[in-house]
């Protein structure tokens, strides 16, 4: 038989899929994989119903004009600089294949979102990770000097994520200014994964695009913003004039994202912005974060309060993801899932709060019962 190639060196089943499978097998409450519990907002569903039968054929590979314009207006960029993709995952892949190649190094922070390293490898490049620090008191901190020390003559790009899955970090304007200065000093591309740009709990995150427009490719996701992770509509906002350069790769990865869903997102983006939908979304998540974080602390966990995303990270001396899913009936993601080169902080867990309050209550009850059984 001919050989199969594993160029990504990614695990055959991601830990997110594995934990969802184990959750189903053990009847566990799934606080692992990050997807919302319910349906997307009615204005998005109505827009999709309107689009079916009207927008059903191929769109240009860069995306439906109406969506590129709507995204341009929403992000404050020219619609011509937008490339629509099948989710942020494809956006990141198009950028990997367009920006890095054999011999190049791509700097990223660890913990690292699971697609970044395999995508760099698929492009023939070498992913190089720099660890975030986790201090039980101070929480997660980022060390610009460590990032700077990892730059070599081969470094081609910085790949960053803010708000950051899984740490919940939102980089401060000072940190971002340091990152931009580093990128300019070494003439690096910046890939800024901002899929959680509307999911924050303090100051609105600053987009790297606004600080270094000449070298920043911003990645976004309608799935995250509009609670429709299965729709697979994402985007890249390229530096002015550079989106045409992504066209060749984008054309052969999936050609275009689903046309009716692009049309629906185009119609929904201004509604979401003008109706206060994102404010309501944040308020809903903030309430569920408070519920989950408070409950976990009551059970003896150290919780690192996220500034954004719909995940929190926590440490508990007696818990592992494997025993929780099997014995407590609660699925979470083990910290090791986000580490490849460095050791994960011992006992680190990522817990999703993009779930119903009922599920969070049930999970906390089960954890309490599990704790009683242990003691
Ligand atoms: N980047 C980050 C940091 C994510 O958490 C996710 C989804 N979990 C993605 C990218 C992928 O987003 P999409 O579903 O739009 O492909």
Mean pLDDT of the chain, nearest integer: 96
Residue 259 has pLDDT above 90, yes or no: yes
**Judgement on whether residues 260 and 289 belong to the same structural domain of the protein:** no
How many A from CA of 358 to the centre of ligand 1? 25
Q: How far from chain centre, in Å, is Cα 35?
A: 11
For residue 309 and ligand 1, the question of a CB distance below 6 A is answered with no
Dihedral sign for Cα 331, 334, 335, 338, please.
Answer: negative
Q: How far from chain centre, in Å, is Cα 269?
A: 19
pLDDT average, residue stretch 162-169: 98
Residue 375 has pLDDT above 90, yes or no: no
Residues paired with residue 314 on neighbouring β-strands, in sequence order: 303, 349
How many A from CA of 300 to the centre of ligand 1? 30
**Judgement on whether residues 266 and 297 belong to the same structural domain of the protein:** no
**Judgement on whether residues 133 and 194 belong to the same structural domain of the protein:** yes
**Judgement on whether residues 217 and 107 belong to the same structural domain of the protein:** yes
**Judgement on whether residues 122 and 241 belong to the same structural domain of the protein:** yes
What are φ and ψ of residue 156, in 5° steps?
Answer: -110, -30
What's the rounded Cα separation, in Å, for the pair 191 and 182? 14
CATH number, domain of 367, equals: 3.90.1150.10
pLDDT average, residue stretch 277-306: 97
Contact of 253 with 93, CB cutoff 8 Å: yes
Contact of 170 with 205, CB cutoff 8 Å: yes
pLDDT average, residue stretch 29-40: 91
- Residue 293's pLDDT is 98
Structural domain includes residue 89? yes
The ligand 1 atom nearest the CA atom of 193: 1
**Judgement on whether residues 314 and 238 belong to the same structural domain of the protein:** no
Residue 167 has pLDDT above 90, yes or no: yes
Domain span at residue 230 reads: 42-274
Structural domain includes residue 10? no
Q: What is the pLDDT of residues 177-220, one digit of tens each?
A: 999 999 999 999 999 999 999 999 999 999 999 999 999 999 99
**Judgement on whether residues 264 and 310 belong to the same structural domain of the protein:** no
Worst-scoring range by mean pLDDT, 1-5, 99-103, 144-148, 271-275? 1-5
For residue 114 and ligand 1, the question of a CB distance below 6 A is answered with no
Q: What is the pLDDT of residues 65-109, one digit of tens each?
A: 999 999 999 999 999 999 999 999 999 999 999 999 999 999 999
For residue 34 and ligand 1, the question of a CB distance below 6 A is answered with yes
Site to substitute for ligand 1 among 83, 92, 116, 165, most atoms within 8 A of C-beta: 165
**Judgement on whether residues 59 and 160 belong to the same structural domain of the protein:** yes
From 319, 338, 337, select the one nearest 329 (Cα to Cα): 319
Nearest-CA residue for atom 12 of ligand 1 = 88
pLDDT average, residue stretch 125-148: 96
Structural domain includes residue 138? yes
């Amino acid at each position: 038989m001919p050989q199969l190639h594993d160029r990504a060196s990614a695990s055959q089943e991601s830990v997110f899929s594995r934990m969802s499978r184990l959750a189903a097998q053990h009847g566990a409450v799934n606080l692992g994989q990050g997807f919302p519990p319910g349906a997307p907002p009615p204005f998005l569903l109505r827009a999709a119903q309107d689009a079916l039968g009207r927008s059903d054929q191929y769109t240009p590979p860069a995306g439906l004009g109406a969506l590129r314009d709507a995204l341009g207006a929403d992000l404050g960029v020219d619609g011509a600089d937008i490339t629509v993709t099948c989710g942020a995952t494809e956006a990141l892949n198009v950028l990997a294949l367009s920006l890095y190649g054999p011999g190049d190094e791509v700097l990223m922070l660890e913990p690292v979102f699971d697609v970044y390293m395999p995508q760099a490898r698929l492009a023939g490049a070498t992913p190089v990770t720099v660890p975030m620090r986790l201090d039980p008191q101070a929480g997660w901190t980022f060390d610009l000097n460590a990032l700077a020390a990892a730059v070599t003559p081969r470094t081609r790009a910085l790949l960053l994520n803010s708000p950051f899955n899984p740490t919940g970090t939102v980089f401060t304007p000072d940190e971002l200014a340091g990152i931009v200065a580093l990128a300019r000093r070494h003439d690096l591309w910046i890939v800024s994964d901002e899929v959680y740009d509307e999911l924050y709990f303090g100051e609105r995150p600053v987009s790297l695009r606004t600080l270094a427009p000449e070298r920043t490719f911003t990645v976004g996701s309608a799935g995250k913003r509009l609670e429709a992770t299965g729709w697979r509509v994402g985007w890249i906002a390229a530096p002015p004039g550079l989106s045409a350069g992504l066209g060749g790769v984008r054309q052969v990865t999936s050609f275009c994202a689903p046309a009716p869903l692009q049309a629906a997102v185009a119609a929904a983006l201004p509604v979401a912005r003008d109706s206060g939908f994102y404010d309501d979304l944040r308020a809903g998540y903030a309430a569920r974060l408070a519920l989950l974080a408070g409950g976990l602390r009551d059970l003896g966990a150290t919780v690192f309060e996220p500034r954004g995303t719909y995940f929190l990270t926590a440490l508990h001396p007696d818990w592992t993801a494997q025993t929780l899913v099997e014995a407590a009936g609660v699925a979470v993601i083990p910290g090791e899932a986000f580490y490849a080169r460095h050791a994960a902080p011992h006992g680190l867990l990522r817990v999703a709060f993009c779930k119903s309050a009922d599920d969070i209550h049930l999970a906390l009850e089960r954890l309490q019962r599990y704790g009683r059984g242990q003691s």
